[in-house]
Structure 1
Amino acid sequence: MMAERNGVSRVIVLQGGDSPEASVSRSSAAGVVAALARLGVAHDLWELDGDWVSRLAALQGEPGIVVFCNALHGGMGENGVVQGVCEALGLRYTGSSLPACALAMDKVRARHVLAAVGVHVAEGGEVFSAEEIEDWILRLGKVVVKPVDGGSSLGVSILEKGADVAKAFHAAAKAGSGRVMVEDFIAGVELTTGVLGTQVLPVIEIVPSHAMYDFESKYTVGGSEHIIPARVPHDVTAHVQHMALLAGRALGCTGAYRVDFRYDERLDFLGVLEVNTLPGFTPTSLLPDAAGKVGMTYDELVMWIIKAAL
């Protein structure tokens, strides 16, 4: 029998949405729903489609404490739209606030904020044509082209001189809202660390099976290896964790979030790639792996995130 737990009478898990990452969202939601079932927490699973705003509004005044567990990825689930509707209706939801989500999702704006507080980011900026990408390649040599507001490595390309810049520009535009950005490519190792409130989790070194940590590497079992702790010097680990907290605070993140980095040992350069306000809960996701290393089970992590919304 499903019952109230930790003062929560019901959890509504949101999945799907308008994003190209909807399939990833459903995978995360399936994991969360299974955890809630094991915990004996009353729950429902909602697809974010149709007149979802009216569905949320109908819950105003429902007795007990209802928490929306945001298992959405990308689109309006991560850019502040869903958060804004919940806030306007007075509904509790997991994850960061509207301003934090909107800022973190806009990687161009986020870059400016992070740089202003001393967090290193790769040189780059927004571009409005394929020709501008060619100019950046001539200037930097090797670049990364990606959506300003996309995720899961969709629409991301690594380019050098002679590459098909038009194809890369259109792929990035299609994977997000249409805005495209370019950054200097940081050679070296891919690192990430999760944050739970003020607790920074162990740093993970990601070794993808492909040349790039792409969609397949992220969401296919065996597509990447997660090495915990990362095989970097202790001072680099400490710097990653410090920068993760600093980046999260600068953007206003709360609850659980994850910060992705690349570290170039040759130049001793650690650069933030992005701040993810809604880390995944799929079978290959990074946050549950990191939490597991500090003794927190998947189910305990799910419950922590829900309690953080109270």
Structure 2
Amino acid sequence: TTTTTTTTTDRHRIRLTRLDPRATRLALERLLLSGAKCGLPIELVIEHVVRNSMHRSGVSGMKKMSPPVTGAQAAAQASDEDKMKVYVVFGGSSSQRRQSCRSGRHVYLTLKRIPTIDVVAVVLNNTNNNASSQLADATAWRLSYASALDPDQWDAPRAPDAGRFAPSKRVRADLEKYGWVKPSELSSCQDTMMHHHNEQRSTRFGALLAVASREGAIIFNAAHGGAGEDGALQQLCVSSGVAYTGSSPLASRVCMDKAATAKALVQRPVHGATCLPKRVVPASALVSKASDERGWGGRERVEGAKRLWLDIVSSFSGGGGAAPGAADTNNVTTLVVKPIAEGASRGVRRLMDERELLAYAEDIAKNQAPPFPYAYVFEPFFDASRAPWVECSFTLMGALGDLRVVGQSTIDARAKERARAVGHALGVEGCAVLDAFVNTDTGELIVIEMNTVPDMTSPDSTAFAHARNADPPIDAETLCTRALSLALVRRFR
């Protein structure tokens, strides 16, 4: 960013005049966060950046932008009784915590633009166990507007640093004194003002759900991985009588477990869709032997890895489980390994031989903090760069048994129909994203995984991008409100 400094009698006045196109994303986030600390909505900060840039360049005639509908304006348009109360829940202690915090911020800001919704950002801390009983005791922080804009402070499971949000009455007074903003332009929402940081408070997540139940609120689940995606959070919401976005506890648990997903598609087969054959290896077979001096030590260590490698490779002989013509598993020479219940490609690695298998095990033992995944999944490597196969994602949205593929107009209709059928077979509802290999000639699918809590970190995330390219286009606000509506449909089903 670039600033211009004007000296007055007793102090310096700093006015932002333009945005440097080379400015990093971090610099822009800091600018918006600074505005939020002073009670300035994002739209107002951007407006003044543009206005001052035009003034600097001698350009005039910019019309006043419509102010964001917040605070008193929103209250005038929708009474508290008419507003839908929504808690956007994110965080947790899974390996996808950072992604979850950014998804939560984006969803929170999207819903905040809707005057008929009263939205609160909630970050989960210390959810180190996936059991619903322990998730209920996890610490949940209700965030102020300024805090929700700064997800980096939530990357580690810890309490918020209140010192970073010191009172800003003097700063706000200076802004008004020097005419940078008018008093009427400052947001009247208490949670957008930095000096209300003391209203940030923590509670047990179970207690927050009890409050949500009394309020008739909806939980917008943006907690990726771990307890947020494996059915624990969903089961806790069901037990508390709270509507929530996404799939049922059972469907969430099945889709989070890659081996369970493959098994479900065997039990409920979909014509033209299947999974690559899989071999589940307990984590103890990898981690304990790699970290224990008595296991796989020296030459015996390499020989042990070789025996395990040959055992896994031989289990794929015969090509069982692959789509017709999809992969030749009679002569497997390369494997792919991944944690059985992780997302965002975490822990995924291509292995060429037993030495790379041993290196992978050592890496897990040395660098991954416990608790380890209880198992790892091995499957033959599939080269999606070979025509006619391509890797593709499908955004599915709808009620149970009534899913629709959002966007993807260029994809074969047969492939989209099979993607819907896979979603129905897995019991998916709400909004979910299916990753698969697609045969562009036949429309056949090889399912990679189903994400029941899809990435929503930015407007370019898969679900938002597909919605934007739909016919007619679906904006972010509409996509999020549809997810909320589907949560209510399930609650009253």
Give the shorter-chain TM-score range: 0.7 to 0.9
Aligned match of 1:187 in 352, 362, 383? 383
Q: Is the 8 A contact 1:186 1:262 kept in 2?
A: no
Greater RCO, 1 or 2 (C-alpha within 8 Å, sep 6+): 1
Structure exhibiting the larger radius of gyration computed from Cα positions? 2
**1:285 counterpart residue number:** 461
| Further displaced range: 279-288 or 167-176 | 167-176
- Structure 1 residue 260: Cα displacement: 0.6
Does structure 2 conserve the Cα–Cα contact (< 8 Å) formed by 1:201 and 1:291? yes
Whole-Å separation in 2 of the counterparts to 1:202 and 1:165: 39
Partner of 2:164: none
Query: Is 2:239 the counterpart of 1:88?
Result: yes
Tell me, yes or no, if structure 1 residue 276 matches structure 2 residue 451: yes
1:249 aligns with 2:424: yes
Separation in structure 1 between the aligned mates of residue 364 and residue 428 of structure 2, nearest angstrom: 26
Q: Say which is worse superposed, 156-165 or 70-79, in terms of deviation.
A: 156-165
Show the 5 A alignment for 1:63-74.
65-74=216-225
Counterparts of residues 19-168 of structure 1 (less than 5 Å): 19-40=94-115, 41-49=117-125, 50=139, 51-62=204-215, 65-116=216-267, 117-118=269-270, 119-128=273-282, 129-130=285-286, 131=305, 132-137=308-313, 140-161=332-353, 163-168=355-360
Deviations 1:178-219 (A, max 9, x none): 31111122211211111111211234xxxxxxxxxxxxxxxx
Gaps of at least 5 residues in structure 1 are: 204-227, 231-236
- Tell me if the contact between 1:25 and 1:71 (Cα under 8 Å) persists in the aligned partners: yes
What number of residue pairs does the alignment pair up? 278
> Take 1:67 and 1:133, find their aligned partners in 2: how far apart are those partners?
48
Distance in 2 between the 1:36 and 1:70 partners?
13
Q: Distance in 2 between matches of 1:302 and 1:195?
A: 13
In structure 2, relative to structure 1, the CA distance for the partners of 1:240 and 1:171 (3 Å cut) is: farther
Q: Does the 8 Å contact 1:6/1:307 carry over to 2?
A: no
Whole-Å separation in 1 of the counterparts to 2:261 and 2:380:
16
**How far 1:42 moved relative to its partner?**
1.0
* Unaligned ranges ≥5, structure 2: 1-70, 126-138, 140-203, 287-304, 317-331, 385-389, 489-493
Q: Post-superposition shift, 1:299? A: 1.6
Bigger helix share: 2
1:251-270 equivalent positions in 2, closer than 5 A: 251-263=426-438, 270=445
Deviation at 1:162, TM superposition (A): 5.1
CA contact (8 A) 1:10 1:67 kept: yes
Deviations 1:109-137 (A, max 9, x none): 11011133133111112113354345334
The TM-score normalised by the length of structure 2 is: 0.52
Give the distance between the partners of 1:297 and 1:250, measured in 2 at CA. 28
Matched residue SS, 2:379: strand
Q: CA deviation at 1:288?
A: 0.7
For normalisation by structure 1, the TM-score amounts to 0.81
Counterpart residue type for residue 187 of structure 1: D
Give the aligned CA root-mean-square deviation in angstroms: 2.6
Structure 1, 184-193 or 75-84: larger mean CA deviation: 184-193
State the alpha-carbon separation in 2 of the partners of residues 171 and 268 from structure 1: 38
Is residue 306 from structure 1 mapped to residue 484 from structure 2 by the alignment?
yes
Contact 1:127 1:133 in 2 (8 A): no
Match of 1:214 in 2: none
